Structure 1
Amino acid sequence: MILVTAATAPVGRSIVEQLVAAGRQVRALTRDPEKSGLPAAADVVAGDLSDPESMRLAMEGVTSVFLLAVVPGFAPAFIAAAKDAGVRRIVFQSSGSVDDEAQEQPHVVAAFHHDIEQALRESGLEWTFLRLELSASNALQWAFDVPAQVKAGDVVRGPYAEAAGAPIHPADFAGVAVAALTDDKHAGQTYQITGPESLTHAEQIKLLGKVLGRPLRYEELSADAAREAMGPYAPADVLLDDWAAHVDSAAPVTDVVQTITGRPGRSYTQWAEDYRADFS
């Protein structure tokens, strides 16, 4: 049995769907199973990383876990529950900002993920770290609620029009996670993961407009205005610094998706096609 945490998030949902399609037994963890919309073949259970008892129950009979963590301080209880349940491997969605050589991590996001990585390394469990580059996380979409902006009109407002990113399709990240969950050769490996192409914010919105058949345009906000407009859960300073660093340089692009899954990463245009409904 494979446990998928954050199972209704885009990546988690795709992992569940891909595992079910492959005939694997999968348990999906979510706060509200009745509203999950997950495949009927999945064992959908209620739980939360901040609730150790729910995690203990969710891990019964589980051998591998996909972990997406946003809850501070959960790691000791989570690791203890995993070991007690006989879990063998944790596949952890980490941050590409983690610096293995640094005495101090570059920012709070990197430090949060670095600490979890260290706890997993010291746990005695098998682990695989999937480090998602910040510039590949499609942060513009959720930090500035681009779907809501598009529903309201043809102008998308955000910072740094020429900042480059390499957004990854959730199904591609999920494909790498599925491989790590089901193939022993990925144990002990760390992968830096991105989408297949470097695109500026302005280019991304132009491509989205083409898919939607609308003349979308990007209107640049100052860094201060962007900080005020950003969603309450977005790490504003971390994102703004990363975008500023990529104004004059392409975003990093890796071939991990191709190497691990055997197929090229999906383009930004394909992402926009697949998530078209979010913008209408």
Structure 2
Amino acid sequence: MTILVTGATGTVGRHLIYHLLHQGQKVRALTRNPATASLPEDVEVIGGDLTDAGTLRPAFGGISAAHLITFGGDYQPLGNGQQIVDLLREGGVRKVTLLGGWQEGSLEPAVRASPLEWTYLNPVQFMANFLTDWGEPLRTTGVVREPYGDRKSPPIHESDIAAVAATVLTQDGHADQAYHLTGPEVLTARQMIRHLAEATGRDLRFEELTPDQTRQEWGALGKRPNLSLFRAFTQIPGVRDADVVEIFLQMVGTPNKYGTTLTDNVEKITGRPPRTFAQWAAEHAHHFQPQDAA
């Protein structure tokens, strides 16, 4: 039977497709724009939008398992979860993985209340987020200017998230589980910049802003950096634009036990340790080079 990958052209989705193909699985990819998907020839690519259940029936028929993202193209939680679950059951799906967003929407409770075998994947911080968070400032100035340079996190390689999903979708023993996924080490922002400096051979620096400097420099919408956390904050109901910087300061400046705790779930599930940030930095060093050198 075929395994469906939603969010197929996204950060995790592309890696998941390659993991499944490597295992010899048949893969169907759901994407809003099949013409620009650029996926391997062995993949069956079908157009559809998770936010519009009326577009999903062709993709959901004749599949045994599905990897589901729980948010739409604007990163807002899905509001049509029950419709999606009904279509999955109608199509004969037995097993699903759910890759969560910033907050729970309608899909997660609908899946939990259904007979589907579900597994929730909860990575703390994608290494890939640094491509957008730090790519532009490091390419142009070699400096990241942010508050709280000693804030800590255990970032995870996007391919390791995908490897966990591929294992769960093709093996038994993971039903009704929620997996907290992390990389192999807790790092500060300064340490990650040092890894990127070593990978690129450039003099890259972290310049710490005080909270007041952050408020002053990022106060206007057009002056804020392109941070993934800012995009995530837009998913919180009732959050005003004027509150975004304060929420950011509170989040990155407040110790978070869950967000800094290492787990061994990647190795337990896939049989191999997760990749380090240094490995990721070496793989993506070209994204942090000046444009004329890239």
**C-alpha deviations, 1:112-165, integer Å up to 9, x for none?**
25x5322211022111111222xx2348626x6311112212111223211101
For the pair shown, which has the larger CA radius of gyration, 1 or 2? 2
1:14 deviates by: 0.4
Structure 2 CA distance for partners of 1:255 and 1:238, relative to 1, 3 Å: farther
CA contact under 8 A between 1:140 and 1:158: conserved in structure 2? no
Partner in structure 2 of residue 275 of structure 1: 284
Percent identity between the two aligned chains: 35
CA contact under 8 A between 1:163 and 1:247: conserved in structure 2? no
CA contact under 8 A between 2:126 and 2:158: conserved in structure 1? no
Partner in structure 2 of residue 181 of structure 1: 169
1:250 deviates by: 8.4
| RMSD (Å) for aligned C-alpha atoms | 2.4
Q: State how many pairs are aligned.
A: 262
CA contact under 8 A between 2:143 and 2:207: conserved in structure 1? yes
Structure 2 CA distance for partners of 1:140 and 1:130, relative to 1, 3 Å: closer
1:203 deviates by: 0.9
Structure 2 CA distance for partners of 1:2 and 1:268, relative to 1, 3 Å: same
Structure 2 CA distance for partners of 1:30 and 1:126, relative to 1, 3 Å: same
Partner in structure 1 of residue 17 of structure 2: 16
Q: What TM-score results when the alignment is normalised by the length of structure 1?
A: 0.85
AA aligned to 2:146 is: G
Partner in structure 2 of residue 212 of structure 1: 200
Partner in structure 1 of residue 130 of structure 2: 141
Structure 2 CA distance for partners of 1:70 and 1:247, relative to 1, 3 Å: closer
Given candidates 90, 96, 103, the residue that maps to 1:84 is 90
Partner in structure 1 of residue 159 of structure 2: 171
Unmatched segments (≥5 aa) in structure 2? 73-77, 234-243, 289-293
1:2 deviates by: 0.5
**Distance in 2 (alpha carbons) for counterparts of 1:239 and 1:260:** 33
1:55 deviates by: 1.5
**C-alpha deviations, 1:68-100, integer Å up to 9, x for none?**
1223303122111111111111100126xxxxx
Structure 2 CA distance for partners of 1:206 and 1:252, relative to 1, 3 Å: same
Name the SS of the counterpart of 1:172 in structure 2. helix
Name the SS of the counterpart of 1:67 in structure 2. strand
Structure 2 CA distance for partners of 1:272 and 1:91, relative to 1, 3 Å: same
CA contact under 8 A between 2:266 and 2:274: conserved in structure 1? yes
| Corresponding position: 1:53 with 2:54 | yes
CA contact under 8 A between 1:164 and 1:200: conserved in structure 2? yes
Structure 2 CA distance for partners of 1:175 and 1:132, relative to 1, 3 Å: same
**More deviation, 12-21/35-44:** 35-44
1:197 deviates by: 0.6
1:240 deviates by: 4.1
Name the SS of the counterpart of 1:66 in structure 2. strand
1:238 deviates by: 5.7
Unmatched segments (≥5 aa) in structure 1? 96-108
Partner in structure 2 of residue 117 of structure 1: 108
**C-alpha deviations, 1:229-272, integer Å up to 9, x for none?**
14462325665433212399982111011111111110001111
| Corresponding position: 1:29 with 2:35 | no
Structure 2 CA distance for partners of 1:261 and 1:240, relative to 1, 3 Å: farther
CA contact under 8 A between 2:126 and 2:157: conserved in structure 1? no
AA aligned to 2:99 is: Q
CA contact under 8 A between 1:20 and 1:39: conserved in structure 2? no
CA contact under 8 A between 2:79 and 2:107: conserved in structure 1? no
Q: Which runs of 4+ in 1 moved over 6 A?
A: 247-250
